[in-house]
Amino acid sequence: MKRVLITGVTGQDGAYLSQLLLAKGYEVYGLVRRSSAMDVMDEKLRWLGVADHIRMVDGNLTDLSSLLRVLKDVKPDEVYNLGAQSFVKSSWNQPLLTGSVTGLGAANVLEAVRLEAPGARFYQASSSEMFGLIQEPRQSEKTPFYPRSPYAAAKLYAHWMTVNYRESFGLHASSGILFNHESPLRGIEFVTRKITDGVARIKLGLQEKLALGNLDAKRDWGHARDYVKAMWLMLQQDKPDDYVVATGRTASVREFCDIAFSHVGLRADDHITTDARYLRPAEVEVLLGDPTKVRDRLGWRSETSLEALVAEMVEADLKRVARRVAS
């Protein structure tokens, strides 16, 4: 039985990855930062019914000594670094924290792997936000980066440190440059969940309007359940490498809203308002991934259409909101 350590195990990707690896017979360990909110931290894992099958271990991305201890105890075959301060908007308000956790945190995990588990295969969660002010219409592994937020800059540092540890120390270290991937487990602070939660509330008569920021920003949206399969595939290869993971289709926030509202028989234009408070200081206007390499080398394809993704999220939020109202 293979052992795996996942940082960020309580997040969206950590939950879906845990579900996938448990189904494949892995022994799954999750790194958790202890806090007063421990009673709700595993909500996403419980949603998927896997919380009781994961062994939680105390540690922190900013504390190298804790990572060394965990790796020594767990002795993992694979390490997935999904932990981060991952809300882009907050990174302008907390740039140093974002750099410490999202950037230096990844370097800490790499260093711990090098010292305690050099034979383990390592995955770094890189981000399409690193492309920022896009230098090519379709972004591939060869597209130059131009980060436009403290979050993206921190992710870029972590990305290049992964390449450096691979080339300097021979670690089997790969990065997945994942474009936006959503699900019913997406945090409520992200625009996609904010939209589907708002649609549910409006449909159930709990509110009239939904305030958003830039409706014209375009993203390449896929399903997190599909994308974690690509993570796993990367670590099954003989040689480590970096891969763009995307659908190859881009859609605006406005189009996402149209799909979500039409799913419940409403018109988005009747309910959407814009609020400057939700605008980024430096916007990333368009992201569109080129998944040719991940398709040709790993045989991976996005299996969920944008319409199916949005429908799944709206249905989940309708049930959530209705349950809260009933209680």
Which of 123, 151, 165, 243 is labelled catalytic? 151
Q: What is the CA radius of gyration of the chain?
A: 19
Contact between 257 and 218 (Cβ < 8 Å)? no
Half-sphere exposure of 158 (CA within 13 A, CB side): 36
> What is the DSSP code (8-state) at residue 246?
-
Instruction: Please tell me the distance from the alpha carbon of residue 125 to that of residue 83, in angstroms, as a whole number.
Output: 8
Tokens of 110: 């790499």
Partners of residue 177 on adjacent β-strands:
126, 244
Instruction: Please tell me the distance from the alpha carbon of residue 150 to that of residue 145, in angstroms, as a whole number.
Output: 14
DSSP 189-200: TSHHHHHHHHHH
Which of 78, 116, 129, 312 is labelled catalytic? 129
Q: Is 123 a catalytic residue?
A: no
The Cβ of residue 299 has, within 10 Å, a number of other Cβ atoms equal to: 9
Tokens of 197: 């939660």
State the helix-helix crossing angle for 306-326 and 191-203, rounded to 10 degrees. 50
Give Cα separations from 101 to 35, 70, 109 (angstroms): 16, 17, 11
Q: Is 129 a catalytic residue?
A: yes
Tokens of 189: 């602070």
Closest by CA position to 81, among listed 6, 13, 184: 6
Which of 127, 128, 175, 302 is labelled catalytic? 127
Instruction: Please tell me the distance from the alpha carbon of residue 259 to that of residue 276, in angstroms, as a whole number.
Output: 23
Q: Is 255 a catalytic residue?
A: no
Catalytic residue set = 127, 129, 151
